[in-house]
Amino acid sequence: MNVQVPKYIAISKDIIKRIESGDLQPGDKIPSENELIKNYRISNTTARKSLHEIELQGWAARIKGKGTFVLNRTADKHITRVLGSFNAIKESFTNNLIREGFAPKNIILEKVILENGISSEINNRHLIIDGPVLKIHRLRYGNDVLLKDETKYISMTVCPKIHMLDLEKPLIGIYHKEYSLQLEKVQRSLSNMIMFPSDKNNYFENEIPLAVFILDGAILCSDDKVVEIEKSYYRGDRYKFSIDVKPEMY
């Protein structure tokens, strides 16, 4: 005799298949109750039970007031980040980790104003921010493991008094809301190196040579004004980078 599978079980399995196939990535928001009700034509009770079942099986976690997000279940806890997508840099580092099931921690090593400005070579282009510039050097942890050694330089000509704001919020949101900036370009380059335990300014506390990704980036607004320059080091044994490119239509 065939036993009919409860509707909420069938729906939860459907969403779990999307996670397993990679259609939904760690940190992605899974369909909400209202979306499940609309897409599957079910009651709100069935939708709620479907989401609860996905949580019970350890595939996702609900964050109050924000939704239910896919957890990072990979054995080595690799984190995937997207290059080429403007949307991918809108969210804060901390919020991304929380959604993926990590406990984030930030340590600020340096927060100073540089009067002489800063420059960087990115994608064969020389980019300059004239002083004053706010420099923020911070260590980004997930589950007490240093994941990212991040340094950002922000134009205080374009963003005056930004050092007085809460910089734990996504910086792009601050640029838009507090300074009404129209961001037009994001320049990024990715390289790699081996970091040795004895290297100067190595904060990863690795006991053997460690491969790290080096991300050089810049954000530009109208008139090609450089708002932000970044130089960050990512643990090579914790990160994967993917490319998101929209082809031009001919």
In this prediction, residues 73-91 reach a mean pLDDT of: 71
Q: Is 236 left (phi over 0), alpha (psi -120 to 50) or beta?
A: alpha
pLDDT of residue 135: 97
Task: Please give the average per-residue pLDDT across 223-241, as a whole number.
Answer: 92
pLDDT tens digits, one per residue of 34-72: 999 999 999 999 999 999 989 888 888 888 888 898 887
Does residue 206 or residue 90 have the better pLDDT? 206
Task: Name the CATH architecture for the domain at 7-70.
Answer: Orthogonal Bundle (1.10)
Tell me, what's the pLDDT at 26?
Answer: 83
On whether the pTM is more than 0.85, the answer is no
Answer yes or no: is pLDDT of 238 > 50. yes
- In this model, does residue 119 exceed pLDDT 80? yes
pLDDT of residue 40: 92
What pLDDT is attached to residue 77?
A: 65
Mean pLDDT is lowest, of 3-7, 83-87, 136-140, 189-193, for 83-87
pLDDT at position 206 is: 95
For 132-170, the pLDDT digits (tens) are 999 999 999 998 999 999 999 999 999 999 999 998 888
pLDDT at 88: 66
Mean pLDDT of the 1-11 span: 79
Q: Which residue ranges make up each domain of the chain?
A: 7-70, 79-243
Q: What class has domain 79-243? A: alpha beta
247 confidence band (pLDDT: 50, 70, 90): low
User: Alpha-carbon distance 199 to 20, whole Å?
Assistant: 39
Q: Supply the pLDDT for residue 3.
A: 60
Model pLDDT, residue 1:
46
